[in-house]
Amino acid sequence: MDGNGRWARKRGLPRIAGHRAGAKSVKEAIEAARESGVKILTLYTFSTENWKRPKYEINALFKLLENYIDKEARNLVKNGIKLSVIGKFEGLPETVQKKLREVIEMTKDNRTLTLNLALNYGSRAEIVEAVRKIITDCQSQRLMPEEIDETTLSRYLYTKDMPDPDLLIRTSGEMRLSNFLLWQLSYAELYITKKLWPDFKKNDFKRAMEEYQTRQRRYGG
């Protein structure tokens, strides 16, 4: 969800104003995904690299996330949306962890759509953590080295209970993955739009879905 800062700068506004506008696009994307029959929507919400930003911006981002959770919790339940989180959960502010746990528990039986937030997430760190767990299990003989294959490694990732993504949508015209789901996106279709995230609305999401439907996926075959 790229472009919040640039959206604000173009309008002479502080960066947090761009993040607030971006939160509205989050709601539209969730509605569009649910209406389109998407089963899992993963939003790259806060990366491990985002800690390099100014402290005031980080604090404002997490406050915005808390407010969003408070405001939308009932709508998630009402619309059958299950909340899930991937990333280094324990590294998040305690107040954010508490609110997330509450809504995760509240929505755990919902089945219409899984809203998966990537928070304090970095794909390289995820893969390194998975390798460490595999080594530990090999040392304790819970896993044999000859048993390790792609399926095994996938089971040790944060996304172990989820299928690989079919489609990656990237806003603001950037042509890079930015350390997002590097293992899982191996065969995903890419959709790049020059629109900044706050300008990305429900119709834009559905346009990306329509474009995806025209693709022929051969998985290297």
Going through 21-171 in order, the beta strands assigned E by DSSP cover 40-47, 81-86, 113-121, 167-170
- Is 166 annotated in the active site? no
Who contacts 221 (Cβ-Cβ below 8 Å, separation ≥6)? none
Residue of 4, 50, 166, 204 marked active site: 50
Instruction: Sort 63 into a burial class: Cβ within 10 Å, 0-12 / 13-18 / 19+.
Output: middle
- Is 179 annotated in the active site? no
Residue of 2, 116, 120, 204 marked active site: 2
Who contacts 204 (Cβ-Cβ below 8 Å, separation ≥6)? 193, 195
Closest CA to 111 of 132, 138, 84: 84
Q: Give the CA count within 13 Å in the CB-facing half-sphere of 195.
A: 17
Q: Which residues are catalytic?
A: 2, 50
